[in-house]
Amino acid sequence: MDFSTDAQASVIAILPEILMAALAVVVLAFDLLWRRAQRHDIGYVAGFGLLGIAAIVFLVGIPPQSGELSDQLVLGGMVRHDDMAQIFRVMVLLAGGIGALITMGIPRLRARGDFYAILIVSIIGASLASAAADLIMVFLALETLSITLYMLAGYLRDDDASAEAGLKYFLFGAFASAMTLYGLSLVYGLTGKTNIYELGRLVATNGLNEPPVIIALGLVMVGFAFKISAVPFHFWTPDVYEGAPTSITAVLSTASKAAGIGLLLRFLLAVFPPAELLGAAEAVADYSGLWVQLVVVLSVVSMTLGNLLALVQTNIKRLLAYSTIAHAGYVLMGVAAISTDKSGDGAAAVAFYMFMYVLSNMLAFAVVILFTRATGSEQIRDLAGFSRRSPWLGLAMTLALLSLAGIPPAAGFVGKFLLFRAAVDAGLVWLALVAVANVIVGLYYYLIIVKVMYMEDSPSEEPVPVDLPFKWALAISAAGVLLFGTILVTPLLDWATDAAHALYVLL
Amino acid sequence: MVITFSGVLTGILLTPVIGALVILLLKKEAKEQMRVIAAVTTGIALLLALFVFFGYSVDDANAVNGDGGTYFAFEDHVKWIESVGISWHLGVDGISAPMVLLTALAGFTGVLISWGIEDRTREFMAFFLLLVAGVFGVFMAVDLFVLFFFYELAIFPMYFLIVIWGWAQTRQYAAMKLTLYILVGSVVALIGIIALYFKAGNATGVYSFDFVDLHAAAKAGVFDTPFSPAWSAVTTAKLWFPLVFLGFGVLAGVWPFHNWSPDGHVAAPTAVSMIHAGVLMKLGAFAALRVGVQLMPEGARVHLPWIVFLTLINVVYGALIAMRQRDFKYVIGFSSVSHMGLVSMGFATMNVTGMTGAGLQMFSHGIMTALFFACVGMVYDRAHTRDIPSLGGFAQKLPWVAVAFIIGGFVSMGMPGLSGFVAEFPIFVGLWDGPAFDPDPNWLAGTFNYYGLIAVIAALGIIVTAAYVLRIVGQVFFGEFNAERFPHISAITVYDKIALIILVFWLVLLGVYPRLMAPMIESGVRPIVSMLGG
């Protein structure tokens, strides 16, 4: 297989990572050079830096238009620069940027330059994960993302919950990483290749010994399922989400998950492709049926268990943790559809869904930070009277929750609709009906939060203060949620569809 | 795709949305301005809706439908989400044009009735306008994605309106129950719509949620082929019809899925009850007709002959339960279940007379129920109780309300000269005639014609209706007034009077001049019946 050696294309392909690395250095430098009072604003540098890079990626980082694999695989096949990578990069950059802005609402973190620098590095990992086309790069990206997040989750060392979150995440994560690494090494050992497109062809055509391939597939899936917190690899999620600084919880639930999903899409299709994609004549082994079944099982148990456990939560961060588990289940429904429907509906639905999910969750967590700061509590019942205190914040939270519940005009409605459509297209009508039942359960607990905000009276009538970085974070995410659900559906969906088509180019 | 844009329907839809946005931007204290803005925007929508209603040409509709086309007036058809086959396609046919007018009337009078709302007026008016916009959207939607989008959009303001401004004792329970019931039904129907979309797309190569395209596929018999190769006997239409029809039927209060409705009506604030029972329940019936019967006539032929029994239970059981209530508002709530049963029953006749009656009943019942709930609200706001035995003699204190209620009561009994007669009579005639085609001989309807029997039993239900209406009139408005218990009964406001006049006017107008609406509805019904094989 040929790789592009065009130097300019190579630089553009990893431009976001180069810029982010520079940004991390800049943030660290400011941390040293600025006086204490100035350091208060260091989050703006990180936040708007990341958002700016997102804009640059969107405008400048257009992948080679030929759509040929050999043009898009750069740097010795380490990275594939296609629309799929781009849409997921923009997603994680938005998540990181908004995450940095909302970190400024946490007093103990606001002036910590090193915190922002580590955050940027973890976004580098997330960004690379969606472009990785080589086993080495897959693992490097995952570890860059994970190790930095371990640090960030446990950053508040003197806070027991945060320290516990960091350690717990680290222990679970190290275990999952080891499984993935073992799986990857098995794949390498069987084929002698590390580029996922090359070894995908070998896996499909070479008549490899089946049991080790299946074991490798299973082991790799463990690592991915851990990253996206699919049941039964979700045990870390509620505790870590509750204990970690809330802005990191937000990043964990969005950037980290988007990176995992992006990687999952690319990895499964490239390494274990459905036979028809490679031309039926030369293909002899088709493992796609197997991973579709695995993904379907993960999807059903994740959404069902996530939703049912969310019903009984009283802490808002834990509730959102269980809701992200359920959302992993919904998204996996789209992943299950990518093998049988070649039109790209499934992958496009997944990309669209993740995009709106990132914005919705960011919106929700931004409000949660403000709420915790004002009341000192994370209990849902303390949200009482929130809409009287701050009508706009109440409305923003409602919008986020409606989006997560899949009610128009929020973007979540279109996302869910596309996922259902993909599932029906792939012949998984029963899975769509299971998801429908789950959507109802989900709506129930989201509405409970809305009810508490609007119905019950609070002891205080004082408005919740919203400072400038939050205004930005809220405005960006709320506008996204609203516009991508109504008039801007088409541009985003077209982009997602282009991305999906790129995914199916395997030769 | 032909791009047409007349803008009238989009205008009707966007006016309340714009009103809601403007109201949200006002200061909390500017309550009077909010009310005026809400009244003006719904008033503009009402004028536009009247324009649509009177501008609808029955002759054009009959000509196009006669040639095998699918007629929609005032079409707005522009691109939206092209890659999925979704377009912004609005239009009205003979059935939906009166529904748009009904929504506009209920919206405008609802704002007038809610003039006295003082608690968080801004949010109330904004959510109310969004609700009205959502309902408009469903009636105008030709693209089924658009239909579904607005169907769901109407649900969430509903939840807020009930849970915040509703009757404190049951609002939390009722709002959640209503939302979950409706959502369960609608998402099941959504999966059905998606299944039809792929079925039609795989057969014709055009993947589209547009009703016109799907209808063409239905005419070509695409949905009469087996749904999955595994079960060759079960066609798509036979499999999905009951799920789609009953899924939307939840909102129409079809027994046994009617349970959310009385609770929801009672818990809701007056204006919301008006929209809710008056218009929202018609959304369910309308969507069930449009997506269920029109797209899957084969399923309708097989399943409606048993669904008609459910509707009979609705009519009789609803009336009997209404008879037993002590709570004024619950009586009206259950009467809606009973009257909506007549609508579904009209659909189940599957002939032109009965279905035209169902269309008229949707409009007539919508106005009548809105009037009822307005009256209940006016009495309750002053008496602070809805317990029928403890009320009495309110005709002396609130003569306007009493007159309006009695007229509404006559409508609900089907008194000639009022709209109820015009609507119910054709339904019973249609029932007596039975379906316009020869039923499948292997099926119940083929063995013996029980439709006449159903007509007889349902007509007896009207007697029960008369009983409970007269009971309320006697006990609430006449009898002795308890001056000790109700020392201060203030007169109703001028806004209330305007609202009552508007509603009563339409009930009488339709009663004395049914030609205003009947031919229009017939023009919408005829193509459906011809699809059914009549």
Whether A43 is covered by a domain: the verdict is yes
Asked whether residue A1 is assigned to any structural domain, the reply reads no
Which has more confidence, A79 or B221?
A: A79
Q: Say which residue, A357 or A76, is predicted with more confidence.
A: A357
- pLDDT band for A342, please (50, 70, 90 cuts): low
| Closest residue on chain B to A447 (Cα) | B176
B495 touching A (Cβ < 8 Å)? no
Number of domains making up chain A = 1
What is the ipTM, given to two decimal places? 0.88
pLDDT at res. B184: 87
Per-residue pLDDT tens digits for B372-391 = 999 888 888 888 888 888 88
d(CA A120, CA A187): 31
CB of B207 within 8 Å of any CB in chain A? no
Which member of A407, A425, A444 has the closest CB to residue B156? Answer: A407
What are the C-alpha distances in Å from A126 to residues A101, A122, A221, A254, B132? Answer: 18, 6, 17, 10, 44
Cα–Cα distance between A66 and A44 in angstroms, integer? Answer: 38
- Rounded Cα distance between A167 and A370, Å, is 26
CB contact under 8 A, B123 and A391: yes
**Looking at residues A321-329, what average pLDDT do you find?**
94
Residue B519 has pLDDT above 80, yes or no: yes
Interchain contact, B191 vs A433, CB within 8 Å: yes
CA angle A179, A185, A186 (to 5 degrees): 90
Residue A244 has pLDDT above 80, yes or no: yes
Q: In this complex, is the C-beta atom of B153 within 8 Å of any C-beta atom belonging to chain A?
A: yes
Q: How confident is the model at residue B534 (pLDDT cuts 50, 70, 90)?
A: low
User: How many whole angstroms separate alpha carbon A356 and alpha carbon A353?
Assistant: 5
Domain housing A433: 7-503
> What does pLDDT average to over chain A?
89
Q: How many domains does chain B have?
A: 1
Mean pLDDT of B297-321: 88
Residue among B156, B159, B191 whose CB faces A420 most closely: B191
Q: For residue range A186-209, list pLDDT tens digits in order.
A: 989 888 889 998 888 888 887 778
In this structure, is residue A249 part of a structural domain? yes
Q: Do B83 and A420 touch (CB under 8 A)?
A: no
Which residues 117-136 of B are in CB contact (within 8 Å) with A? 120, 122-123
Helix (H, G, I), strand (E, B) or coil at B478: coil
Compare all CA atoms of chain B with the CA of A446 and give the residue at the minimum distance: B176
**Please, what is the average pLDDT of chain B?**
86
C-alpha span between A70 and A68 (Å, rounded)? 5
Q: Which of B28, B150, B164 sits opposite A455 (nearest CB)?
A: B164
pLDDT digits 0-9 by tens, A18-36: 999 999 999 999 999 988 8
Q: pLDDT tens across A407-451, in order?
A: 888 999 999 999 998 998 888 889 999 998 999 999 999 988 988
pLDDT at A283 over 60: no
Write the pLDDT tens digit of every residue in A456-499.
Answer: 777 777 888 888 989 999 999 999 999 998 888 889 999 999 88
Nearest CA in chain A to B193: A421
Residue range A111-125: mean pLDDT, rounded? 93
Task: Give the pLDDT score at A282.
Answer: 60
Express each pLDDT in B434-461 by its tens digit: 887 766 655 665 556 788 888 888 888 8
In this structure, which amino acid lies at residue B384? H
Binning pLDDT at 50, 70 and 90, where does residue A323 land? Answer: very high
**Burial level of A189, CB count in 10 A (0-12/13-18/19+)?**
exposed
B interface test, pick of A311, A356, A397, A407 with most B CB neighbours within 10 Å = A407
Interchain proximity B156–A417, CB inside 8 Å: no
Exposure pattern of B117-129 as b/e (b: 16+ CB <10 Å)?
beebbbbbbbbbb
Q: Which residues of A touch B24 (CB under 8 A)?
A: 395
Mean pLDDT of B170-183: 86
**pLDDT for position B442:** 57
Decide if pLDDT at B81 tops 60: yes
What is the model's pLDDT at position A321?
93
What is the extent of the structural domain holding B404? 4-532
Distance from CA of B160 to the nearest CA of A (A): 8
Any CB–CB contact under 8 A between A455 and chain B? yes
Please give the interface size between A and B, counted as residue pairs whose CB atoms are below 8 Å apart: 84
Nearest-neighbour CA in chain A from B194: distance (Å): 6
**Is the Cα dihedral B436, B441, B443, B446 positive or negative?**
positive
**Is the residue at A80 inside a domain?**
yes
For a pLDDT cut of 70, what percent of chain A falls above it? 99
Q: What is the pLDDT of residue B529?
A: 87
Residue A2 forms part of a structural domain: no
| Whole-number pLDDT of residue B443 | 60
Measure in Å the smallest separation between the Cα of A490 and chain B Cα atoms.
5
Q: What is the mean predicted confidence (pLDDT) over B92-107? A: 91
What are the residues facing A73 on neighbouring strands? Answer: A80
B369 to chain A nearest CA, in Å?
Answer: 28
Residues of A in contact with B195 (CB under 8 A): 424, 429
- What is the DSSP code string of B299-336? HHHHHHHHHHHHHHHHHHHHHHHHHH--BHHHHHHHHH
- Predicted confidence at residue A363, as pLDDT, reads 95
**Cβ atoms of residues B361 and B423 within 8 Å:** yes
| Location of structure tokens 């007018």 | B101
Query: Does B79 lie at the interface with A, CB-CB under 8 angstroms?
Result: yes
Residue B80 backbone phi and psi in degrees, to 5: -135, -85
pLDDT computed for residue B46 by the predictor: 93
Instruction: Check CB contact under 8 Å for B172 and A451.
Output: yes
In angstroms, the separation between the Cα of residue A216 and the nearest Cα of chain B is 34
Q: Please check whether residue A305 lies inside any domain of the structure.
A: yes
